[in-house]
Copies of this chain bind each other. A is one copy, B any other.
Amino acid sequence: MTVTEAATRARVAAAALAQATRAAKDAALYAMADALLAGTTGVLAANSADLDAARTAGTAPALLDRLALSTPRIEAMATGLRQTAGLSDPVGEVVRGSTLAGGLQLRQVRVPFGVVGIVYEARPNVTADAAGLCLKAGSAVLLRGSSSAARSNTAIVDLLRAAVAGTGLPADAIQLVDSSSHDSVTALMRARGLVDVLIPRGGAELIRTVVTGSTVPVIETGVGNCHVYVDAAADLPMALAILLNAKTSRPSVCNAAESLLVHAAVAAEFLALALPALHQAGVTVHGDAAVAAAGTAAGVPVQPASEADYGTEYLSLDLSAAVVPSLAAAVAHIRRYGTGHSEAIVTGSLAAAQTFVSTVDAAAVLVNASTRFVDGGEFGFGAEIGISTQKLHARGPLGLPELTTTRYVLTGTGHVR
C-alpha cells in the first residue's frame, strides 16, 4: 500500500475516531495493552529476527540495545498504554468561552488533528507509545519506523490493529508505513491535505530532513545541546550534583547536559571539584584552555575542545566545557550553540536567575535544577510524544493537549453583522 493510500484510509478512520467517546478510546487502549501481553512471544520472535539481521549487518552495540525488546520492555509498553487510558481526554475540552457583545455564544473547543504522521528511529517501543497517544487524542496515526525494526513494528502494529478493531474502532486508526526505502518519508512530507501534522523523532539528520523538506506542517522535536551554567554566585556542591545528574543519569536522551559553562570567578574552585568527579563518572571532558589548565592542576585528562564540540549533541559520556567571563557571555554562548531545548543555571543570585530566565531562548529554562526534569512524565503530563524545540504550536514536552488543535463554535439565534 502506498503512503497516499494509507493516508486516505487514515482520513476515513480519523473521521470515526473524532466522534469516539473517551470510554470507547480507553477500551481500545486497554485492549491494545492486553493484546501486546498476549502476543509477547510473537513480538519477541520478530524482534529476534530484526536483531539477527542487524548483527549480521554489523550494527553497533548501542543501536542493538535500542532495537532490542524483552518481556519487561513489552510489559512496559502495555503499562504505558494503560496509563494513557488513565489520562483525561483532551478532545472536547473547552479552552475558552465567552458571550460576545450581541449575545453570540463563543466556545473554543479542542478537536483532533485528524491524521498524524510520526517518523522515528530504532526503538520499537515508540510504535506502541505513539499509537496509544494519537488514538487517545482522537487522531489516526501513520507510523514510519526504522527499517531495522520492520519485523518488530509489524508484529506490534498487527496486534494493536486487531485489538482496536475488536473494540469497534477502525483498525486503520493505526497503520505502519513501508520502511524499506526513504520514499515513504518523502511521500509523508508531501502528503499535504492528507496528513495534518508530521512529527520526526530521532537524530539531528532525520529531523533536519523533515523540517526543511516537508510541506506538511511539522512539530520539530528533540535535538538537545543542553547547557549547565555555573554562575559566580553558585552553591558549588549543588552545581556539581546538578551537573553530574544532568550529564550522567541517562546520557543518551535529549534532556541530558552536553556542555558546561563556568563563570571565571568560580572556575578554579568548581573545576577542581568537578573534573575529578566527572572523570570518576566516566565522562570525557572537551575543554577550552582554561578548563585544560584546571585539568592539569587536578591531574585529570581534558581533551581540547574544537568549535564543533560546542555545537555537538554527544548523547554519550562526553561533555564540552568552557570558562566564561560573565553571565552575559554564558547567555551569548548558549544563543550561539544551543538548540533551544533545556538550559540550566546554578546560582544563588536572584538577579542572575532572572536575567538568565528572561534572556535565554529555549523551550525550558531551569534554575538550580537538572535539565533531566524537562520531560512530559516529570511535568505531570503522564506521557509525551517528544519534546518540541520549535516555537510554533507547542514548545517543550508534547502531552495529549499538544496533540490536538481547536475549533471555534459560535451559537446564535439568527445573528447577523
Q: Taking beta carbons and an 8 Å cutoff, which residues of A are in contact with B?
A: 15, 18-19, 98, 100-101, 104, 106, 108, 111, 113-114, 192, 196-197, 211-212, 215, 217-219, 235, 238, 241-242, 244-246, 249, 353, 357-359, 361-370, 372-374, 378-380, 390-393, 395-396, 405-417
Contact = CB atoms under 8 A, between A and B. Distances in A.
Contacts of A235: 414
Contacts of A390: 217
Best-surrounded residue of A197, A249, A362, A393 (most CB of chain B within 10 A): A393
Contact of A391 (B113, B238, B378): B113
A370 B411 CA distance: 10
- Copies of this subunit: 2
Contact of A416 (B217, B353, B358, B372): B372
B378 A416 contact: no
Contacts of A411: 353, 366-369
In order of increasing CB-CB distance, the 4 nearest A-B pairs are: A369-B412, A245-B416, A391-B405, A369-B415
Interface of A (DSSP majority class): mixed
Contacts of A374: 408, 410
Contacts of A197: 391-392
A211 B114 CA distance: 19
A83 to B, nearest CB: 15
5 contacts: A114-B361, A245-B416, A366-B412, A395-B405, A395-B406
Contact of A241 (B98, B363, B410, B416): B416
B106 A414 contact: no
A347 to B, nearest CB: 11
Nearest to A408: B364
B215 A211 contact: yes
